[in-house]
Amino acid sequence: MIKAGIIGGSGYTGGELLRLLLQHKEVTIDFVFSTTKAGLPITTAHPDLLGTTTLTFSCEINLDVDVVFLCLGHGNSTRFLEQNAFSDTTKIIDLSNDFRLKGDSGFGKREYVYGLPELNKEAITSADAIANPGCFASAVQLALLPLAKEGFLSNDVHINAITGSTGAGIQPSETSHFSWRNNNISWYKPFTHQHLGEIGESLASFGTTVGELFFLPNRGNFTRGILATAYTRFEGDLEQAQELYLDFYKDALFTHISEGPIHLKQVVNTNNCHIHLHKHGNVLLVTSALDNLLKGASGQAVQNMNLMFGFEEAEGLQLKAGVF
């Protein structure tokens, strides 16, 4: 058994991490740190865990745990680590965007490996620090990586993706509260979303030419999940594209190619990403779907932990979607 700590355990990603780790046969939760709820039962923030745990939020941190998950707002992980020096043997998995880009990956004595297992599995297994990918970034990269590897992204790529309200975090805002979000949809940060940087670096990692990415993110009137569509020119036929994707993901436990059109209910509450390919003339349409809180955040973080410690990759992640 390894000991795990969670920093920022009262938010959505912290709650999902707790749900997964409490069922993980190789992990015991050492502490769940929160500055706003210290001393209170975990269930005050996560009532879905009632009957599952009697843990309380802590105001103290064990700097010698085996692994620590940082579930902090973007920009806060750097400041937190400057003030709290974890043991050299503690593995760190950061769920913010602080260390995702190559220029930011070196911090202190550590080099943060970009934690997308379908791209960097070998590096993850030997890493002591992981930069967990963003939710939109995971959906878009998984949709496009096979094309990038084979040099089929030299033309411009148009991407449209819609996310549930949990993608905005637990703190209420004008565009996340119920009366605004319900029966509503809108785009935001058109062509400038912060995840474009990590997407671009991953697609360029194969050394092939990548065209301009035109990314339009949307807010959906549902709580969780991401459905992304991306299309670009592709001169091959559909069978060639399908073979390319099946080969790229042949060893991926959680990324699956569907012969039929996909929808969100297939993947919500799972660590899976489903992908579908459609050909129209000389344009290839790639659709991907995943749960923004699991494969897009906490589930992928646990997957990375499993790889880092040599556990079964799917341990703690045997989850089933509810399609009805």
Residues labelled as active-site residues: 135
Helix (H, G, I), strand (E, B) or coil at 294: coil
**How many helices (H) does the chain have, and how many strands (E)?**
8, 15
Amino acid present at 309? F
Q: Token pair for residue 301?
A: 């973080």
Alpha-carbon distance of 102 to 272, in angstroms, equals: 26
Instruction: Name, in order, each residue with C-beta under 8 angstroms of 218's C-beta and a sequence gap of 6 or more.
Output: 160, 161, 162, 163, 185, 186, 187, 188
On whether the CB atoms of residues 50 and 76 are closer than 8 A, the answer is no
DSSP label at residue 212: -
Q: Helix, strand, coil proportions of the chain in percent (round to 5)? A: 30, 25, 45
On whether the CB atoms of residues 226 and 158 are closer than 8 A, the answer is no
Q: Token pair for residue 279?
A: 């050909």
Amino acid present at 169? G
